[in-house]
């Protein structure tokens, strides 16, 4: 009998890829999204699958369904969107966790929380290991997301201790690939759109801050393996340990797009971390997982996706192009 799997935030960037992967594994998928940042377009290709169901719902309200597993991805992850309504962002992280944990408790099913590398803040330990407690501002503009995710992790482990609930917690580092929102403000999507349209590449600060980038196909593989791991009793970092500067990323994208874009520099946003790179030793040991897609291959697939979007002259991309000009 096929598993019935609930994916909250399933019409988002990572969620849509996860839904597709689960369907390929012959699971029945209930995709839940309120479409604040998710898009029906991301799951349009799944709608004809009889094992796929799409439900518009906000996880800050309880949900009463019958499922065998829960992946809780619901929360805006882009600073542009989570800072637009910071109170709602905090509510989504905390109330969403409470509601999904309550559902998992009632059904006695495993539940996976997608946490974030943002729980480490602007780290003074590098690369970041799961036992590092972070250096996070609780009053800054990113706190609604950072602290919301930290509190959600606390709730998950309290439910594990108090109710013996089978939980999994993934700390996701920078992820990229098709279905990224063209206006999400993340460096990969920003740089690709600017490069494809020969607009100036916008670098914040001097471009020396470092990041590591994991292709979405690899990230989904990590999430699926983590859900299947019954011994994952601690948060697990999922990301690519290959680190590069933001400036290096910009130059690589310009070259891959054969672009004429020049680089412009703007002030670094408040609380923007200077370093971000995962230690994935736990993922390698417990999940037998590490990223397979190299950066250039992943970027080329992502560039091809945005080229298709540009050729379709979608309203979202048109707005993004005007904003960049």
SS3 223: helix
For residues 128 and 277, the answer to whether their CB atoms sit within 8 Å is yes
Closest CA to 44 of 215, 198, 179: 179
Strand partners, 175: 214
Taking the CB of residue 28, how many other CB atoms lie within 10 A of it?
19
Closest CA to 307 of 217, 178, 199: 178
Decide the pairing of beta strands 263-266 and 201-204.
Answer: parallel
Q: Tokens in use for 302?
A: 């992502």
Q: Which residues are known catalytic residues?
A: 145
Q: Which residue has the tokens 């796929």?
A: 52
Residue 15's alpha-carbon distances to 80, 142, 289, in angstroms, are 19, 22, 19
For residues 62 and 39, the answer to whether their CB atoms sit within 8 Å is no
What phi-psi label fits residue 205: left (phi over 0), alpha (psi between -120 and 50 degrees) or beta?
left
């Amino acid at each position: 009998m096929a598993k019935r799997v609930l994916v909250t935030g399933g019409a988002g960037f990572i969620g849509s890829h996860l839904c597709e992967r689960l369907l390929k594994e012959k699971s029945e998928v209930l995709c839940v999204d309120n479409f604040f940042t998710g898009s029906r377009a991301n799951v349009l290709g799944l709608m004809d699958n009889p094992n796929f169901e799409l439900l518009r719902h906000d996880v800050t309200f309880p949900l009463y369904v019958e499922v065998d597993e829960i992946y809780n991805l619901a929360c805006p992850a882009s600073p542009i969107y989570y800072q637009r309504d910071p109170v709602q962002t905090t509510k989504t992280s905390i109330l969403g966790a409470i509601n999904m944990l309550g559902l998992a408790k009632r059904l006695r099913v495993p539940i996976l929380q997608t946490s974030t590398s943002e729980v480490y803040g602007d780290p003074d330990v590098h690369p970041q290991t799961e036992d590092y407690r972070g250096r996070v501002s609780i009053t800054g503009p990113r706190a609604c997301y950072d602290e919301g995710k930290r509190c959600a992790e606390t709730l998950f482990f309290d439910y594990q201790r108090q109710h013996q609930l089978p939980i999994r917690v993934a700390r996701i580092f920078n992820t990229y690939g098709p279905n990224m929102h063209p206006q999400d403000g993340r460096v990969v999507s920003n740089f690709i759109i600017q490069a494809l349209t020969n607009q100036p590449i916008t670098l914040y600060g001097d471009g020396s801050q470092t990041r590591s980038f994991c292709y979405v196909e690899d990230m989904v593989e990590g999430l699926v393996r983590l859900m299947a791991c019954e011994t994952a009793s601690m948060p697990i970092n999922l990301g690519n340990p290959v680190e590069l500067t933001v400036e290096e990323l910009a130059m690589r994208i310009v070259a891959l797009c054969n672009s004429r874009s020049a680089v412009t520099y703007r002030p670094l946003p408040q609380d923007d971390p200077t370093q971000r790179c995962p230690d994935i030793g736990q993922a390698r040991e417990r999940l037998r997982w590490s990223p397979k897609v190299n950066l250039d291959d992943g970027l080329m697939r992502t560039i091809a996706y945005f080229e298709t979007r540009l050729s379709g002259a979608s309203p979202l991309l048109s707005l993004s192009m005007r904003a960049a000009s």
